[in-house]
Amino acid sequence: MEGVLNAVDVNAAGPLRLVQILLAHLLAAPDPIIINVTSRLGSLAAQASGTFADLNTSYAYKISKAAQNMLTIALAQDLQGRVRCWAVHPGKLATDMGQADASKDPRIAAAELRELVESGDRTSPRFCSLGEADLA
C-alpha cells in the first residue's frame, strides 16, 4: 500500500505540484506546453484489453501512471486555449526503469519528442507514443 501511495505522490501529485508552482510563468510564455512523461502501461484501454498482460508491472506503477493521465486531461481542460497538455509515452527505453525487452536509446526519444513539439500540433489533451502509433 505504501508503494502505491508513494508512486501516486511521485507520478501524479508531483507533476501537479510542479504545474502549480510554474503556472504563472507558463501563462506568460509565448507557446507553453506541459508534457507529462507517461507510460503505455498507464493506458486504461490498452490494459483493459489485455495488451500488456504478459508484462510483470506493479499495481503502483500502473495506477500512478493512469492517475497521471487523468491529470493531463484535467489540466488540458482547465487550460484549454492557453497551455497545451500532453501525455507522452517515450517508448521502451534502455534505462534502469525499462522492461527486459527495452532497447531504445533515450537520446532517440528526446529527439523524437523535440520534433513532435516543434510540429506545432495544437491537440490538447493528447496521448502520444514516440516512434509508435498513439495509444487510446
Q: For residue 32, is the peptide bond before it cis, meaning its omega torsion is within 30 degrees of 0? A: no
The CB-of-40 to ligand NAP minimum distance in angstroms stands at 6
In this complex, which beta carbon is closest to ligand NAP, that of residue 80 or of residue 99?
99
Site membership for ligand NAP, residue 62 (CB under 6 A): no
In this complex, which beta carbon is closest to ligand NAP, that of residue 78 or of residue 105?
105
Q: How far apart are the C-alpha atoms of 95 and 7, rounded to whole Å?
A: 18
Region 71-130 residues binding ligand NAP, contact defined as CB under 6 A: 89-90, 92-93, 95-98, 102, 106
Four-residue CA torsion sign, 67, 72, 10, 100: positive
Residues in contact with ligand NAP by the rule CB under 6 A: 6, 10, 37, 39, 89-90, 92-93, 95-98, 102, 106
